Structure 1
């Protein structure tokens, strides 16, 4: 797992450090910087893949703009400063990325730490060629590995490289006519049909059945199926409504409500072995009933633990908070806010302690009453 993230000089973030849980939820006002935090993580993930061109950043869910405004524009001098992102892994290893952009047309972000390591390796290689380093092959290998910091914790580094910001959209979930630039699921929900088709194979049917079981949260849902007689290029799933006469055919995703499609996407994302193990969902509450939101989060917490997923949610719906158990340290809530200087900050929320003789206040109620912050203050 990624234990801690640190971001400096990115958009509204001057300097920020957050200790993540397995399931972390960000709440706060519109424009307070919740998505900026996710983008900072995505930028570090892109650097880990050495893919910092705008097309790749956009496909990760980032809102790419002029490089000057990717930095914190609180002071004029900041628009040329580096963006720094670091991650602390489960074993305590810290991975840092120092990112610079020349603010010139057709230029890309560069990881300065990587460039420096490459220069060091080139210097070592040059000295070897000139016979100025009389080392054995093993010693030379140790020197180079020391420069590039080869890690034994490949699992957590792999987690970091796969990070995406998912913001599923109704059209992408319903039409099935696009495949995401990053597979198996694109940030808008592209690729859902193909993933369901893969899960429908014999060796993965258990996963598909688990998704069907989870979809019972929708009271009318009875079953779904992947047709075997589709025409070339045709993409459709068959959905069965328990209230419709058995003699009638299944309907497809075009006739389904969007809440159903969002749930189907989330359960595929959390249950499939092919989807990222570290990711975020921006506005998890989109198109969902408040009570369903609470129950969904309970299920996703359970699925995250069972399927080794780590996730960050953003939300404006208080009901999401009631699906969390803050007595479990792997479930965390942070109020994201902007201080008097406009800098994005984060404050962790712990389980509210009731006054003597009173019942505990639900997190949703505490949020709406303003007890934990995250609400607009200017009206």
Structure 2
């Protein structure tokens, strides 16, 4: 899957050949989150509308055109922001989105839009206020609506439209997850609700309950889960029990309960409120990979938070394995060097990218591939990154 992004925040002009499991490293402010958000804007454009509502539902921080459009010193601000994506089925979608700086509109307009299949044009428009649908002369699409959403259900017998509809279904699922401990514990309602789990970690208990059986967690054997949460011997989801949860703590309808392997049998149970936050992050991450209702394409910003470096390494290896098995696509950002040591870069579906900003502040994205020079260093990727050999580090 190849993406091109132009004039969005610090991403003046970048391209990305993404795999299924993509890890992005870079210093603070280098453009990692902007890249995840650019995919979110593209997803909204494919869905047929780019507005605060469609962006927020995907985890994109809403902002004015003045914040979204690149505004580097001594450079003219572009009229539009541009996105292009081509999948492995040779479906290519390109869109230019416009919104005036002085008087921003609630919705971005489709300045131009084009869909190609196997190099052949399916539809296209350029700077048109309305678009007449050739096969449906009584219908027209205004400039604030995307054309691809109107193809759903049309000509399902034609291979081209089947591919286009599959592309639409896949990309419109995209969401950016940024879990926070408060929502993982169930102490507050997630401001961005989604099924099966909120973008900030809300409804984790309910999602975990969907996957948990007597001896497995989704397709994962429980023993593998307890290898990561090594202080627990049992996990279940049940209503809160006042004997183990203070009455002064906000009480969700369901809570995750852990049984501590080291404690006395009648006093070994902990709720999500008292349990290690790292354990909740593990359940959150694995739920995204394993739950059948979770998106097939998503991002996790700050993947490593609340995790010990060695645990982050082991979770990365397991998480990437499950993502490939489930045929999903994900993008992760991290500041934890040991996450890199959990990557099997010999598998081309697993890819590592470094992002830096040049002297003018423009974000530059580069794929890090194993080559003879890196292999001959005989050092783990974590050390090579910290040493500055891979890029994606601050100039300190």
Deviations 1:164-198 (A, max 9, x none): 11111111101254254332222211121221233
Once the two structures are superposed, residues 301-341 of structure 1 have per-residue CA deviations (whole angstroms, 9 ceiling, x without a partner) of 11011111111111111101101111111111111011232
Structure 2 distance, partners of 1:123, 1:307, is 38
- Maintained 8 Å contact 1:12/1:344: yes
Normalized against structure 1, the TM-score is what?
0.85
Deviations along 1:213-242, whole A, 9 cap, x unmatched?
A: 443112112111122688996221211111
SS at match of 2:385: helix
User: Which deviates more from structure 2 when the two are superposed, residues 210-219 or residues 10-19?
Assistant: 210-219
Query: Which residue of the partner structure matches residue 394 of structure 2?
Result: 376
Match of 1:10 in 2: 8
Confirm or deny that 1:247 pairs with 2:266: yes
Inter-CA distance 209–228: structure 2 relative to 1 (3 Å threshold): farther
| Distance (whole Å) between structure 1 residues aligned to residue 131 and residue 164 of structure 2 | 25
Match of 2:60 among 52, 58, 62: 62
- Cα pair 1:176 1:235 within 8 Å, conserved: no
1:362: how far off?
0.7
Structure number having the greater helix percentage: 1
Does structure 1 retain, via aligned residues, the 8 Å contact 2:85–2:94? yes
Relative to structure 1, is the Cα distance of residues 234 and 249 closer, same or farther in structure 2, using a 3 angstrom cutoff? farther
Alignment map for 1:100-249 (pairs within 5 Å): 100-103=98-101, 104-105=103-104, 107-113=106-112, 116=128, 119-121=131-133, 125=137, 150-179=161-190, 180-200=192-212, 207-208=217-218, 210=220, 212-216=222-226, 217-227=228-238, 234-248=253-267
Distance 1:158 1:213, change over 3 A: farther
d(CA) in 2 for partners of 1:126 and 1:246?
71
Take 2:75 and 2:385, find their aligned partners in 1: how far apart are those partners? 38
SS at match of 2:306: coil
State the match for 1:35 in structure 2: 33
Instruction: Check whether the contact 1:353–1:360 (CA below 8 A) recurs between aligned residues.
Output: no
CA positional deviation for 1:209: 7.0
Within the candidate set 88, 105, 112, 1:90 is matched to 88
Distance 2:378 2:13 in 1: 34
For structure 2, the 5+ residue unaligned runs are 114-124, 140-150, 243-250
Counterpart contact for 1:42–1:62, Cα < 8 Å: yes
Match in the other structure for 2:351: 332
C-alpha spacing 1:213/1:94, structure 2 compared with 1 (3 Å):
farther
TM-score (norm 2): 0.81
| SS, match of residue 284 in structure 1 | coil
Alpha-carbon contact 1:35-1:282 (below 8 Å) kept: yes
Secondary structure of 1:265's aligned partner: helix
Give me the whole-angstrom Cα distance separating, in 2, the residues matched to 1:239 and 1:64.
37
| Distance change >3 Å, CA 80–CA 68, structure 1 → 2 | farther
- Equivalent position SS for 1:373: coil
* Aligned counterparts of 2:166 and 2:129: Cα–Cα separation in 1: 22
**Contact in 1 for aligned 2:70/2:78 (Cα 8 Å):** no
Say what the alpha-carbon RMSD is for the aligned residues. Answer: 3.0
Report SS of the residue matched to 2:36: helix
Residue segments in structure 1 that go unaligned for 5+ positions in a row: 128-140
Whole-angstrom distance in 2 between the partners of 1:124 and 1:302: 46
1:313 equivalent among 332, 342, 365: 332
Bigger drift between 89-98 and 261-270 goes to 89-98
In structure 1, the residue matched to 2:311 is 292
Q: CA deviation at 1:280?
A: 0.9
Residue correspondences, number: 356
Would you tell me which structure has more strand in proportion to its own residues? 2
